[in-house]
Structure 1
């Protein structure tokens, strides 16, 4: 009887191991991406689709942002609070600095575990770039996102440290998994200042500043004490 019990237990463990291995090989995750908006203020629209075998796994969309792009932490905090998104920003974001003074960082979008199709609308902004002779447009490459999974069984050989959730900065071990990307690589255009206009802009700015000072002094001089 004891030998039979041990045999049954071994068979059960092997079956469970094979089951999780099968799930990991068939995550069947696809991602569609569309960029809306023009100018400096844009929005990423993602549609993530998966099959039911993926449900035991937690998923994250990880996006590495170049210095030319930033996501406003206050805006994301409001969206997190309202329940529209679940995003963790890994890094300090200065929304005021231009592109050549900014740093790279990553954002993690946590995916609901109970839906086969999940859509996300993530607002982002392009930074001002250095002015150039003759102006024109600068090119900004939006990196292809990664998808990380945390399943009961390890799903790939590539392990990645990422936040456990948006409320916990502690790092958990996730697996970088392959997915079907239903979109092409995106290159965005951002307006760039024209150095040829620098003398005119400087003169106009100086004149407006002087006019403002004269007006302020005239108002102060006519105001009774």
Structure 2
């Protein structure tokens, strides 16, 4: 009987303390671990998908990113895609400038001093920064658009195609903490912990310095995000010539050149008017 009365008294004191704020909160380390564990339990994967559109030597690289978080958690966040361009492809910086003026895409070349006319065996890899935009057809999606072009390749001895591997990009995210309205706060008496942007707590694993936007020269600390890619890499096939056709191609080209030059000279001497 005495034990039962003691238990009832203990429960009563706990309830009274919780109501009046007299109970002592849990330790800070324990609370932080519990809150982080709760956030990670609700983490959903970031899915990235690369697609190559169009046919021929002039293609469009489309990158789509889907978040599982609600749009409220991402409304003050920006997404930057750092894409490496292999030597077999090139991006025309003048074309990018034109697309930016028409508000079609927000992309800028990072690499400098490269020749867009050079063949792939005389070219190096380049780098492009693409500021992704929200997808109007998907509430928690971003997408980025980049026109790419094939370079000329050496002829092969057997296979009439060359492979170009487009590696997965780096996914960078920057969230404006001052403007955010989706901040989660936990308060336990003297313990006050602010957890900002659960998506960063879930998948950010390093920081990268990059321009905040194309319109200004400010530098921001972007978070490099982990993601799951639908495809491991994008592989493009470029048609190339065969070395066994070298003699035939050179002979035909020479004969056509001689024939056209002869016809031009005949027309000039026949219909031209010469004055001394």
Residue 220 of structure 1: aligned partner: 268
Residue 38 of structure 1: aligned partner: 55
Find the residue that maps to 1:206 and give its secondary structure. helix
1:95 CA displacement? 2.2
Could you list the per-position Cα deviations for residues 103-146 of structure 1 after superposition, in whole angstroms to 9, with x for gaps in the alignment? 11111111237963233342212212111213411111111011
Find the residue that maps to 2:212 and give its secondary structure. strand
**Distance in 1 between residues matched to 2:85 and 2:75, nearest whole Å:** 28
Contact 2:48/2:229, CA 8 A, preserved across alignment: yes
**Distance in 1 between residues matched to 2:148 and 2:64, nearest whole Å:** 17
Of residues 134, 141, 149, the one that matches 1:117 is: 141
Q: 180-189 or 25-34, which moves further after superposition?
A: 25-34
Residue 83 in structure 1 maps to residue 100 in structure 2: no
Of residues 74, 80, 90, the one that matches 1:70 is: 90
Q: Of the two, which has the highest radius of gyration?
A: 2
Cα RMSD (Å): 2.9
Residue 126 in structure 1 maps to residue 150 in structure 2: yes
Contact 2:132/2:144, CA 8 A, preserved across alignment: no
Find the residue that maps to 2:133 and give its secondary structure. coil
Residue 180 of structure 1: aligned partner: 228
Residue 199 of structure 1: aligned partner: 247
Change (3 A) 1:157 1:34: closer
**Distance in 1 between residues matched to 2:218 and 2:251, nearest whole Å:** 53
Residue 118 of structure 2: aligned partner: 97
1:44 CA displacement? 2.0
Find the residue that maps to 1:158 and give its secondary structure. strand
Could you list the per-position Cα deviations for residues 118-176 of structure 1 after superposition, in whole angstroms to 9, with x for gaps in the alignment? 33342212212111213411111111011111234795452223233224466543221
**Distance in 1 between residues matched to 2:150 and 2:134, nearest whole Å:** 31
Change (3 A) 1:168 1:67: farther
1:66 CA displacement? 0.9
Contact 1:63/1:108, CA 8 A, preserved across alignment: yes
Residue 29 of structure 1: aligned partner: 46
Find the residue that maps to 2:64 and give its secondary structure. strand
Change (3 A) 1:195 1:168: farther
Contact 1:135/1:195, CA 8 A, preserved across alignment: no
**Distance in 2 between residues matched to 1:170 and 1:89, nearest whole Å:** 17
Contact 2:132/2:143, CA 8 A, preserved across alignment: no
Of residues 163, 178, 183, the one that matches 1:139 is: 163
1:40 CA displacement? 2.2
